[in-house]
Amino acid sequence: MPRILVTGGAGFIGSHVADLFLARGFDVSVVDDLSSGKRENLPSKARFHEIGVNSKEFAQLVRDERFDVVAHLAGQIDVRKSVADPVVDATINILGTLNLMEAVRQSGAKTRVVFTSTGGVLYGDFNKPPNVETYPKDPESPYAIAKLSVEYYLAYYGRVHQQDAVAVRFGNVYGPRQDPHGEAGVVAIFSGRILSNRPLTIFGDGLQTRDYVYVGDVARAVWLAATKPLPEKGRLDARAFNIGTGEGTSVLEIAKLLQATARTVVPLEFAPRRPGEQQESFVDPGKAREILGWVPEIALADGLAKSFAWFARENSGAAT
């Protein structure tokens, strides 16, 4: 039975990844420090290690277990927190990943590492979307700088140590179990507000676009990245894949679709645009289609309906 370690497997995306690999016959272990993840997200059939990715115990586990795959999703995910404290962000997101890569190197195992990067904020505001993997990157936050730094390290580990790693650059992931503080938090936040019949706050004109991609589609992308043959390693972007729909959707459109799903109307409140917020961001997923055979399968209206139904059931999971 092939074996996978999912770091961050008690979190939003990681728990869907763990579920999918279990369903496809993998033996699944999870590492999570439960800093934002929840025990109830953990699949019952997964082995669980409550440890941090910067710890010696984590490195020891990776060295001892010699997993076939590590899907690395554990991390500090809040862009604003990374601005407030870049040291904490880099400690978890860069040094935690180096702890993993060094443990894999020391183990001598042929572990494939799937790193969850960002297509949402990696490219910055200087390109005309849809962003292609090879476009110039001018990240505007310490969070995105950390993701790009890790991608350079992965290229180095491929070039110098022949380690097997791949980066999946997600758009704005939404769906059941979503954390309101992540990159696509607006779906969770608006759902919570609609459920408690409160106004939706729109920052700026509401026309800013994001590439909203359903969590089930994203988990399938991790599966394909973990199991498919990949291009030659060793260069930045060579083994990076945008995972998004290729379409930008405005915040106003998300507000409209969620209200249609809920069959209710709540007032919209406009607030000043937030400094540093990108106006347009969506990715070209053509490379994932060609090389991984990945295409998004869940249309936005359907994905939002599934998500809203989940938030309605688990009202406590929705944000204020």
Catalytic residue numbers? Answer: 143
Residues in contact with 103: Cβ distance below 8 Å, sequence separation at least 6, in sequence order = 58, 59, 60, 61, 62, 63
State in angstroms the smallest separation of the CB of 215 from ligand NAD.
Answer: 8
**Residue 135 CB, nearest distance to ligand NAD (Å)?**
17
How far is residue 236 from each of residues 118, 127, 159, 227, measured CA to CA in Å? 14, 18, 10, 20
Instruction: Using CB under 6 A, count the residues that bind ligand NAD.
Output: 33
CA distance 178 to 82: 19
Q: Round to whole Å and give the CA distance between 221 and 310.
A: 22
Kindly tell me which of 116 and 281 has the beta carbon lying closer to ligand NAD: 116
C-alpha R_g of the chain: 19
Nearer to ligand NAD, 121 or 155 (CB): 121
Stretch that binds ligand NAD, among 50-58, 228-236, 270-278, 292-300 (CB under 6 A): 50-58
Q: Work out whether the CA dihedral 244, 249, 252, 255 comes out positive or negative.
A: negative
> Considering beta carbons, is residue 34 or 312 the nearer one to ligand NAD?
34
Supply the minimum distance, in Å, between the C-beta of residue 267 and ligand NAD: 27
Q: Does 12 bind ligand NAD (CB under 6 A)?
A: yes
**Which uninterrupted H or E stretch holds 165?**
strand 164-170
CB of residue 22 to ligand NAD, shortest distance in Å: 17
CB of 71 or CB of 238, closer to ligand NAD: 71
Can you give the three-state secondary structure of 44-93, one letter per residue? CCCEEECCCCCCHHHHHHHHHHCCCEEEECCCCCCHHHHHHCHHHHHHHH
Least separation, in Å, of the C-beta of 164 and ligand NAD?
A: 19
Residue 14 near ligand NAD by CB under 6 A: yes
User: Applying CB under 6 A, does 307 fall inside the site for ligand NAD?
Assistant: no
Per CB under 6 A, does 296 bind ligand NAD? no
Among 21, 123, 157, 170, binds ligand NAD (CB under 6 A): 170
Q: Is 53 in the site for ligand NAD (CB under 6 A)?
A: yes
Question: Which two tokens mark 312?
Answer: 């309605």
- Does residue 122 belong to the site contacting ligand NAD (CB under 6 A)? no
Alpha-carbon distance 217 to 245, whole Å? 10
Cis peptide upstream of residue 130 (ω within 30 degrees of 0): yes
- Give the C-alpha distances (Å, rounded to integers) separating 23 from 38, 135, 179: 20, 36, 24
* Span from 72-80, 258-266, 279-287, 293-301 in contact with ligand NAD (CB under 6 A): 72-80
Judged by beta carbon, residue 168 or residue 266, the one nearer ligand NAD is 168
Q: What's the one-letter identity of residue 183?
A: E
Q: CA-to-CA distance for 73 and 19, rounded, in angstroms?
A: 14
Identify the residue among 18, 30, 42, 74 touching ligand NAD (CB under 6 A). 74
Q: Which 92-121 positions form the footprint of ligand NAD (CB under 6 A)?
A: 92, 96, 116, 118, 120
State residue 145 phi and psi, 5-degree precision: -65, -40
Shorter beta-carbon distance to ligand NAD: residue 83 or 234:
83
* Binding residues vs ligand NAD (CB under 6 A): 8, 10-14, 31-37, 52-54, 73-77, 92, 96, 116, 118, 120, 170, 172-173, 179, 182-184
